[in-house]
A = this chain, B = another copy of it.
């Protein structure tokens, strides 16, 4: 049988076999073709090319550890189709938390089983279960396509088999051939940071923008190519198609970047440099021909060896996703990424809950107080300091008095939790030292009474929110994680914000490698065992894992509000993030800055590019079950009428309607609060302002609503007059129309309370 298949394969190398599958509504057509013996796919939307024929496959490392010492023939060509299967799937599921109460997962599937005959080396280790070493062997690889109304997902699958058992990926060669010189909203492809400002250029302009796009002062820069970009990558074609490339369910696999082949590309991946990248071996050149210009090629994040992935069959890659629509709002309402993830694996989810919180944090970011307790030592070793005897610097933020002030504020304003950063010893020399034993995660500074403060908080119906900065010393975190979580359980914490600032230890590894992705998942699973929710900062960008592990309630993985204290972010930033970063899951963006001119209350000269009304809008437009009121209590107290919206707004929803959207320009969304008939609407725009006309056709026709509108004042402006807002109240009903004007860098927020 095997010989027959080999014969067939050899006999038809020039044939093109094509199979297509359509989305349920027929708008999207996915075509798989074997071009010669090379797998390719293409995709159209309403007859327009979205992905032109694009190669699929893998280069394998010629590594001694792989596949019983057998010949490491790449998984690039030499394939024939053994089997094709199509199927339909339609199911509605309920997320533990989310933008809607239910999510429909409806797709048509094409699964292609590919065979590849390889020649075996004469000598080599024994293969378990095989007594006589054959001359050739069959390897199989499946490619599974799922075609939705709003896009496609596909992944590679490797069944358990004798001759493709362990293998190491040198690089994945999944191509995405674009049909034109689209406009793209992109971040420089980087192994360690995703906190740069998003660039908006034509694909043809990526190369010339790259040097300017990289802030080389960022301590974690590790850029790999002059045309490398990150996912989720949002694009728009000249003929009005919105296209988004990302991935779903990236579990024990490296995070994917995209390397753009343009007219100047001579070869893939010339290592560009930066930080810990200096220690990553330069990749060996690929022997395969370059694709056409405007093609993206997958580029996986390497570990310290420069290798991209250690695989053991049975296994599969994450889903590679391409979302498409001629309506930008569909990019935001899509559940494609979540749907491609596995159902919830946590049996009892009763302890997982949406959370609104404030915290001892912004004043440290701004520089008004400090994480560390003393300035006395050039460096510290945790086991050799008597903390009760060191000289305090007098600026330590996480002190009993201040934390109680925040607890009081949270209790008074209905906030669930209070984050406290800098509570534990080790902050004196925590960052950028490649220091392994940086924190123990259990020892508080002497002015932070962990028992008293938790009891005080609980007595007021508030919880503290734990903070575990790892300083990227993941080995150290894993050594302490059980004791750290036991401490949390002991004192009644149920959520942790983790952090991964600086270069990774084990040294030479990168934030987005397979091993680090495994670490983040390990943390999520260990936390789940202890009924702890995780909010992971500086971790890899999310790919919808929160469906499977809903205790992953948030993350950073992008440029957050903290950058407003580091020089600022452009006003359009928050009109891009929902199209890019938020595709994979919620972001702990920490909105709510009311005192935008930091110099009015600190020595920090930076300022937030947003109006107060715009800040309120973010609680809607930046969906997250974890929402912070990030500014200081005294700043909210100055604007208590506006703060009322933050008190009122929900953070879990039964329904969401994206009313208006254009990447980098504006986003308007209406959401129905969980278990109620109340709606909240937010609109956020870029530096150009925006006029919104909102038809309230989603309200319950049998009810009226108390409508409160928090809007930019007529003369509001993110730079010159950010604190000018108006609050107006009406009674409205279904079908009414609201007309709103958003100031430059502004927005609006509306609460509609059912009567």
Residues of A within 8 A of B (CB): 63-65, 127-129, 160-162, 165-166, 168, 219, 275, 279, 281, 303-307, 310, 312-314, 375-379, 381, 428-429, 432-436, 475, 478-479, 482, 503, 506-509, 515, 518, 522
Say which residue of B281, B312, B435, B515 sits within 8 Å of A312 (CB atoms).
Answer: B435
User: Across the interface, do A436 and B160 meet the contact criterion of CB distance under 8 Å?
Assistant: no
User: Smallest Cβ distance from A190 to chain B, in angstroms?
Assistant: 16
User: Across the interface, do B434 and A379 meet the contact criterion of CB distance under 8 Å?
Assistant: no
User: Across the interface, do B432 and A310 meet the contact criterion of CB distance under 8 Å?
Assistant: no
Question: Given A432-B64, A436-B518, is A165 in contact with B378 using a C-beta cutoff of 8 Å?
Answer: yes
Say which residue of B305, B436, B475, B508 sits within 8 Å of A478 (CB atoms).
Answer: B475
User: Across the interface, do A377 and B160 meet the contact criterion of CB distance under 8 Å?
Assistant: yes
Question: Given A479-B522, A515-B507, is A129 in contact with B376 using a C-beta cutoff of 8 Å?
Answer: yes
B-side contacts of A306, CB under 8 Å:
279
B-side contacts of A127, CB under 8 Å:
378
B-side contacts of A303, CB under 8 Å:
506-508
User: Across the interface, do B479 and A310 meet the contact criterion of CB distance under 8 Å?
Assistant: no
B-side contacts of A432, CB under 8 Å:
64-65
B-side contacts of A63, CB under 8 Å:
434
> Measured between alpha carbons, how far is A303 from B509 in the docked complex, in Å?
11
Additional pairs, 13, CB under 8 Å, beyond known A303-B507, A304-B506: A165-B378, A165-B379, A166-B435, A279-B305, A279-B306, A281-B281, A303-B508, A312-B379, A312-B381, A436-B518, A475-B515, A482-B482, A506-B506
B-side contacts of A314, CB under 8 Å:
381
> Measured between alpha carbons, how far is A341 from B453 in the docked complex, in Å?
44
> Measured between alpha carbons, how far is A314 from B377 in the docked complex, in Å?
11
Nearest residue, chain B, Cβ from A161: B378
> Measured between alpha carbons, how far is A434 from B482 in the docked complex, in Å?
26
User: Across the interface, do A503 and B65 meet the contact criterion of CB distance under 8 Å?
Assistant: yes
B-side contacts of A478, CB under 8 Å:
475, 478-479
Say which residue of B304, B313, B378 sits within 8 Å of A507 (CB atoms).
Answer: B304
| Among A161, A162, A378, A522, residue most surrounded by chain B Cβ atoms (within 10 Å) | A378
User: Across the interface, do B305 and A507 meet the contact criterion of CB distance under 8 Å?
Assistant: yes
Nearest residue, chain B, Cβ from A275: B64
User: Across the interface, do B379 and A166 meet the contact criterion of CB distance under 8 Å?
Assistant: yes
> Measured between alpha carbons, how far is A25 from B283 in the docked complex, in Å?
59
User: Smallest Cβ distance from A160 to chain B, in angstroms?
Assistant: 6
B-side contacts of A219, CB under 8 Å:
64
B-side contacts of A376, CB under 8 Å:
129
| Among A312, A313, A314, A381, residue most surrounded by chain B Cβ atoms (within 10 Å) | A312
> Measured between alpha carbons, how far is A168 from B429 in the docked complex, in Å?
16
B-side contacts of A168, CB under 8 Å:
434
> Measured between alpha carbons, how far is A306 from B281 in the docked complex, in Å?
10
A–B pairs, 8, beta carbons within 8 Å: A64-B432, A129-B376, A165-B379, A279-B281, A304-B305, A305-B507, A307-B507, A506-B509
B-side contacts of A429, CB under 8 Å:
128, 165-166
Say which residue of B161, B434, B482 sits within 8 Å of A310 (CB atoms).
Answer: B434
User: Smallest Cβ distance from A288 to chain B, in angstroms?
Assistant: 22
> Measured between alpha carbons, how far is A751 from B90 in the docked complex, in Å?
82
> Measured between alpha carbons, how far is A507 from B310 in the docked complex, in Å?
10
> Measured between alpha carbons, how far is A522 from B508 in the docked complex, in Å?
21
User: Across the interface, do B65 and A310 meet the contact criterion of CB distance under 8 Å?
Assistant: no
> Measured between alpha carbons, how far is A23 from B127 in the docked complex, in Å?
61
Nearest residue, chain B, Cβ from A64: B275
Nearest residue, chain B, Cβ from A381: B312
> When A and B form their complex, which 4 residue pairs have the shortest distance between CB atoms, in order from nearest?
A304-B304, A279-B305, A506-B506, A305-B508
B-side contacts of A64, CB under 8 Å:
219, 275, 432
> Measured between alpha carbons, how far is A549 from B63 in the docked complex, in Å?
38
> Measured between alpha carbons, how far is A281 from B280 in the docked complex, in Å?
8
> Measured between alpha carbons, how far is A378 from B125 in the docked complex, in Å?
13
Nearest residue, chain B, Cβ from A279: B305
B-side contacts of A307, CB under 8 Å:
279, 507
User: Smallest Cβ distance from A527 to chain B, in angstroms?
Assistant: 14
B-side contacts of A129, CB under 8 Å:
375-378
User: Across the interface, do A433 and B507 meet the contact criterion of CB distance under 8 Å?
Assistant: no
User: Smallest Cβ distance from A521 to chain B, in angstroms?
Assistant: 12
B-side contacts of A166, CB under 8 Å:
379, 429, 433-435
Nearest residue, chain B, Cβ from A502: B65
User: Across the interface, do B281 and A65 meet the contact criterion of CB distance under 8 Å?
Assistant: no
B-side contacts of A381, CB under 8 Å:
312, 314
User: Across the interface, do B433 and A312 meet the contact criterion of CB distance under 8 Å?
Assistant: yes
User: Smallest Cβ distance from A191 to chain B, in angstroms?
Assistant: 14
User: Smallest Cβ distance from A672 to chain B, in angstroms?
Assistant: 40
Say which residue of B65, B377, B428 sits within 8 Å of A434 (CB atoms).
Answer: B65
> Measured between alpha carbons, how far is A279 from B304 in the docked complex, in Å?
8
> Measured between alpha carbons, how far is A662 from B64 in the docked complex, in Å?
41
Nearest residue, chain B, Cβ from A482: B482
B-side contacts of A160, CB under 8 Å:
377-379
Nearest residue, chain B, Cβ from A62: B278
> Measured between alpha carbons, how far is A377 from B127 in the docked complex, in Å?
10
Question: Given A279-B306, A436-B518, is A128 in contact with B378 using a C-beta cutoff of 8 Å?
Answer: yes
User: Smallest Cβ distance from A442 to chain B, in angstroms?
Assistant: 15
Nearest residue, chain B, Cβ from A435: B312
User: Smallest Cβ distance from A630 to chain B, in angstroms?
Assistant: 26
User: Smallest Cβ distance from A241 to chain B, in angstroms?
Assistant: 41
